[in-house]
Structure 1
């Protein structure tokens, strides 16, 4: 079944279920009105008839029924809300198949023109690779996904594990939909962890039994006062003592209040996410390792988050000024709640980073699993050994952004230490091909399926230079920016074992002959390093490098047919391009003026 059809079918089922639940909720609303009227009627019956026993019995039954209906209605409300969230997830996925990526975060904050390849390959931004993959529901999960796309592993075992995890998650469609339907979580818990880590020590406000003794004496004095056994001065004095003790611990209490501000809702959302993860029966080693970190018997995350949620709820209850005065005067409320919080910190705080990291990893993998499910025709890449003579081998590879029928498939092999020089006319497909190889490599190294019949690769480092820009505010010319990028490239390959290089038009910011000479120097120097590369150029003079250094350079081209209407094949082949189209297009343009 096609993914879009699956999503639409699931949506129909959930909408039907929501309608049934809404119908039940409407019935319960009527029941609430009826039972509330029964409560009023029973009270009136007692007042008018004087039959107390029957009236009270009727009142108790009515109240119990009313509370029961309220409870059931609250459960149904949660179910309807959950169904609505899942329906929204499905609607977003259907929109995805119509090239509407607006429901998904595009990761624009991660755009970095100085990154090794992400800016050139459209990893972030509107309609980017991240925009198409991202389904994360946690802020840290989004960060983790961005890091996976920008920090490529070279360890084969890591890539194999990711492949297995993504394959498994792609098959858990209903679980993924439920997981993605959870409310989004920010970074408040991680901020709490950072603040706690920086704090030198966590001092409990009023350790020991002193608060318990004082609260006990206060309550006893209140009862004694009511009974007429002691003067009210005793009770009032003990209340004043409680206020003094609360104020003396104000520094610790205020610190606890500040670091837990806005955390209550986030904590509850984490509990829902954890329950979904706990319910999943993963098989892949990677997913189970992350799950084990969350549900260790000695430091179970759900238990810890549930405890923290209760403490935060207690903090929320003190917001009312009257309640604050009464609670702190009678039972030193702030001190006891803060003691609970400090005990929670002592037991669980050190585990927070590991827990949120594990959730973030699963969150990021869910996004990649959804991407895999949404592209059933894509193939998982074959990982070649480090000693392989082939760095990349593709069969019928297409840029993933053009996989809906607009792309032309190409097959290509790049050998170890080879530099492929790709020539061709404007708009012939050179830059698209370079980005196709680059983006497919990023997907493959992350364990995600690639839009190709076959994609084999050696896990190596990646560097590209395709989209250099000037910067007037920093007084940087285009040519100067190109030189800086080339310098960055040489420094990068010098520090890596082996690098895949993707270059588009070296030294565009200078005159033709100087550009040719400079490009030749760059490529000859680059050939001295442990690299394989793909270089697109309009300078046919560069193709002479294959004659001079046949062991390092290979010529490829995208050919066109010139006529009244230029025909583009968008197919790569061996050799040097014979036809260029710039002057031809200008002649056509001028002829139409």
Structure 2
């Protein structure tokens, strides 16, 4: 194995960073221009409203045609200004949303974890649902949470997208599925503008009251209107009554019949009071339904466009993968098929027509239209009737649409990483039954081989790469070395990149070759005083779970041996400084026993230790390939010792330790004791 120090070739990342910054500068200029226009239009609105009030005041008091004309012209001009002003503000909202999306892209490249956590999309704990194995893996490898792989990869803004991506990063998958995902990621990577538009729209709907989870719950909920059917004929009756009253009012005006005029006014006012009271007292749940299902016409149209983005996916699965096209299923659910499904985007386009009617009250330009429609014809009930007709037709498919949307959003998140880091490799999966040697001895191919492996969460300028090989079955990688020399970072580098490969993303390596794997780890273990579990017992429980996992997979492998092409997943274990809570000799015996169980179960893996005597254990030496990290100690200008690390992995057992030297450097050594 060749060991060397290599910093990231960051040309692709730098190019992406510069592209994002240039786009942000253009958006900032456009926003400055729109802000100035918004301010001017706001002043015009105030002026026109002033003329409107004066014109109507004089028109009412004098009845002079001039003031009536002034009032009408001022009203028309005011409405035009309001519509124009709202258009400008909508453009500003779109640009601001795009700006937030680009800033998140930049922060990912900068590894600005604090800013990412403070983003409105940073807290996704409620959206993510992990089982105990996934949770342990996520905590040990920094897969989920602050400064995690999820935070680096995710551009997901909807709960289905966040949930799906988190599960892909923490759950094992078969090579065929991983390759199909990666094939789609590679196809999506060049579609930069389309991806940016998708991220922006997803952010808008993901932060609205009509987010996908709420929408799915509404679609599966009982209908509201059937138990209140009387509202529909009542709305029709009051609409007809209002029209009749208006006709009578017009007639009374021309005939100058004041009694009839007064009666018509009273009838209209009575209808309006009754219907507005119904709207206030009975239709409260309807407003909540509208806020979820059709919050605005634009949000529904956003869903339609998000679903149409499935057109970017490749139409065929990659070669040499088994039937059951993962990407094809997403396309079918969102784009429909001639024989089975109607397009989800078409269904959302139809819903947008209903949303247009339901959103009249949300716009200043159309509120004056909505108010009489609601007051005299119960407009909200009419919209709800159309909405529930849509729901009755499409509710069985809604859940599948948003599952597929979550998968599409996850693929597009991984595509950003593939576009930004073109030098990261495509993982090569060792397929089942691909050669005769494998069929004779499948253990020979249970090897994880990474050339120039790097830690994806580190910034480009500080990342150091190493060649790492783990396997074949019957062996393990024993990593020795001083404190802080890079042992734990190497373990996480392996786990993070295997996680990326399973999710379908690129890997932070020059090349990676891996068999079907499932991962288990023991890196961060803590005691639980509330349950009376000590640190040592917590670690034993974790190790027992790792061994049990390996045995489960080994049993599945034995059951599959009758098939010539069977190649069941093996366990990849990553263990960091285990069983430190006991004395050195017992620890060596216990560690050797645990590792023997794992190896006997066909697992492969790596374990770190700074206990150099552990490497001398005969049983362990027989199965272990030993490597080490080291420190370098040099005097500075004042003659004081300075410790540095190159994080380069070398063959053999570590020749140095540094615990006592670190004590000296922080003032806790012999010199510090003598000075007391």
Secondary structure at 2:615 match in 1? helix
Over 3 Å counting, the alpha-carbon distance change for 1:72 and 1:113 in structure 2 is same
Q: What is the RMSD of the two structures over their aligned residues, measured on CA atoms?
A: 4.4
Q: Note the C-alpha offset of 1:170.
A: 3.0
Quick one: which of 108, 132, 137 aligns to 2:157? 137
Over 3 Å counting, the alpha-carbon distance change for 1:278 and 1:479 in structure 2 is same
Over 3 Å counting, the alpha-carbon distance change for 1:410 and 1:353 in structure 2 is same
Q: Which residue of structure 1 lines up, in the alignment, with residue 319 of structure 2? A: none
Q: Note the C-alpha offset of 1:511.
A: 1.4
Output one character per residue of 1:54-86: Cα deviation in whole Å (capped at 9) or x when no partner: 876776666545433433332222112212222
CA distance in 1, matches of 2:45, 2:243: 41
Q: Which residue of structure 1 lines up, in the alignment, with residue 462 of structure 2? A: 406
CA distance in 2, matches of 1:3, 1:577: 40
140-149 or 24-33: bigger deviation: 24-33
Quick one: which of 650, 657, 672 aligns to 1:573? 650
Output one character per residue of 1:334-384: Cα deviation in whole Å (capped at 9) or x when no partner: 654543343232112222212222222222223222233333442222222
Secondary structure at 2:139 match in 1? coil
Secondary structure at 1:462 match in 2? strand
Over 3 Å counting, the alpha-carbon distance change for 1:475 and 1:270 in structure 2 is farther
Secondary structure at 2:140 match in 1? coil
Over 3 Å counting, the alpha-carbon distance change for 1:190 and 1:91 in structure 2 is closer
Secondary structure at 1:158 match in 2? helix
Output one character per residue of 1:235-285: Cα deviation in whole Å (capped at 9) or x when no partner: 99xx99x989x99xx99x776666556554377435324325536851524
Over 3 Å counting, the alpha-carbon distance change for 1:265 and 1:546 in structure 2 is farther
Q: Note the C-alpha offset of 1:517.
A: 1.0
- Asked if 1:397 corresponds to 2:453, the answer is yes
Gap regions ≥5 residues in structure 2: 1-13, 117-121, 253-258, 316-325, 337-341, 364-368, 439-444, 554-568, 635-640
Query: Which runs of structure 2 are paired with 1:132-281 in the superposition (5 Å)?
Result: 132-154=152-174, 156-182=175-201, 183=204, 184-185=206-207, 189-191=212-214, 193-194=216-217, 197=220, 199=222, 203=226, 205-206=228-229, 214=237, 218=241, 263-265=293-295, 268-275=298-305, 278=308
368-377 or 56-65: bigger deviation: 56-65
Output one character per residue of 1:414-455: Cα deviation in whole Å (capped at 9) or x when no partner: 233131122222222211111111111111222222222222
Over 3 Å counting, the alpha-carbon distance change for 1:43 and 1:431 in structure 2 is closer
State whether residues 204 and 342 of structure 1, in contact with CA within 8 Å, keep that contact through their aligned partners in structure 2. no
Over 3 Å counting, the alpha-carbon distance change for 1:312 and 1:204 in structure 2 is farther
Q: Which residue of structure 1 lines up, in the alignment, with residue 395 of structure 2? A: 349
189-198 or 135-144: bigger deviation: 189-198
Q: Which residue of structure 2 lines up, in the alignment, with residue 521 of structure 1? A: 593
Q: Which residue of structure 2 lines up, in the alignment, with residue 439 of structure 1? A: 496
State whether residues 360 and 370 of structure 2, in contact with CA within 8 Å, keep that contact through their aligned partners in structure 1. no
What TM-score, normalized to structure 1?
0.82
Corresponding residue pairs, total: 579
CA distance in 2, matches of 1:78, 1:221: 39
Quick one: which of 532, 545, 554 aligns to 2:625? 554
CA distance in 1, matches of 2:599, 2:182: 33
Q: Which residue of structure 2 lines up, in the alignment, with residue 472 of structure 1? A: 529
Q: Which residue of structure 2 lines up, in the alignment, with residue 10 of structure 1? A: 23
Secondary structure at 1:306 match in 2? helix
CA distance in 1, matches of 2:60, 2:289: 53
Query: Which runs of structure 2 are paired with 1:416-455 in the superposition (5 Å)?
Result: 416-417=472-473, 418-455=475-512
State whether residues 310 and 408 of structure 2, in contact with CA within 8 Å, keep that contact through their aligned partners in structure 1. no
Q: Which residue of structure 2 lines up, in the alignment, with residue 512 of structure 1? A: 584
Over 3 Å counting, the alpha-carbon distance change for 1:200 and 1:67 in structure 2 is closer
State whether residues 382 and 455 of structure 1, in contact with CA within 8 Å, keep that contact through their aligned partners in structure 2. yes
162-171 or 61-70: bigger deviation: 61-70
Over 3 Å counting, the alpha-carbon distance change for 1:213 and 1:9 in structure 2 is closer
Q: Note the C-alpha offset of 1:390.
A: 4.8
183-192 or 500-509: bigger deviation: 183-192
